[in-house]
Amino acid sequence: MDIYYAVYSIRHKPSGMQYIGRSSCVEFRWRQHKNLLRSGKHNSPLLQDYWNRDGENAFEFLILEMTNGRENMDKERYYLQKRYIEKGSHEFNTTPSQAKIMALSDEYLPVKQACAVLHVLPYKMAELLKSGVIPYVLHPALHNVKLIKRADLEKYQQARKALNAT
């Protein structure tokens, strides 16, 4: 069964600047963003500043594209890179996690995204990493974030499918 995700944008109507994200439950995610912004606690300081200055009515929530679970990271990265090329900036996507997405090559995934790809809970992923079942590297430019090679994830998925088939 595929899980579908929406790649979405929170767009500041006067400037056209955007925050791009993805979620499997977009209505809930939009409510989360609004609650954080209303309480002054959003993780994007620039988005928070514009919200405080111009108010909620200056923003709109748009679904850019629906994707399946396998391509959702790629599509989010595509839209982030496209905006960067068009505008020369990450606009509202200035948080470390969004910067990490932009900085990673297609060869690696951060552990959090690897959990989503494998449908593995974070505590289980930690066990797999600690035991060496799935190797990882630390990326010093990204504050030693643990990265997993996509090829290693594919090997793990194939082994897991083979075990489930027996």
Helix (H, G, I), strand (E, B) or coil at 140: helix
pLDDT beyond 90 at 56: yes
Closest CA to 110 of 71, 154, 144, 158: 144
**Higher local confidence (pLDDT), 141 or 109:** 109
Same domain, 8 and 75: yes
- Of 48, 78, 95, the residue at which a domain comes to its end is 95
Q: Which of 78, 95, 112 delimits the end of a domain?
A: 95
Instruction: Find the CATH number of the domain harbouring 33.
Output: 3.40.1440.10
Q: What kind and span of H or E run contains 124?
A: helix 122-131
The reply to whether 64 and 109 lie within a common domain is no
Where would I find the H helices in 7-121? 26-38, 45-54, 72-87, 96-103, 111-118
Cα–Cα–Cα angle for 22, 99, 97, nearest 5°?
55
Same domain, 72 and 114: no
Question: Could you tell me if 142 and 91 lie in one domain?
Answer: no
pLDDT digits (tens, 9 = 90+) for 57-69: 999 999 999 887 6
The pLDDT of residue 99: 47
Pairing of strands 145-149, 108-110: antiparallel
The answer on pLDDT for 48 being more than 50 is yes
pLDDT in tens, 73-119: 677 777 777 776 677 666 777 654 544 454 455 667 777 777 777 77
Domain that holds residue 112: 104-166
Q: Say yes or no to pLDDT of 143 above 70.
A: no
In tens, the pLDDT along 2-47 reads 677 888 999 999 999 999 888 888 899 999 999 999 999 988 888 9
What residues does 148 pair with on adjacent strands? 109
Distance between CA atoms of 121 and 106, rounded to whole angstroms? Answer: 23
Question: What is the model's pLDDT at position 21?
Answer: 87
Check: CB of residue 149 under 8 Å from CB of residue 139. no
Find, among 125, 9, 1, 117, the residue nearest to 61 by Cα.
Answer: 9
Q: What is the C-alpha separation between 116 and 1, in angstroms, rounded?
A: 14
Q: Note whether 5 and 33 are same-domain residues.
A: yes
Residue 156 or residue 47, greater confidence: 47
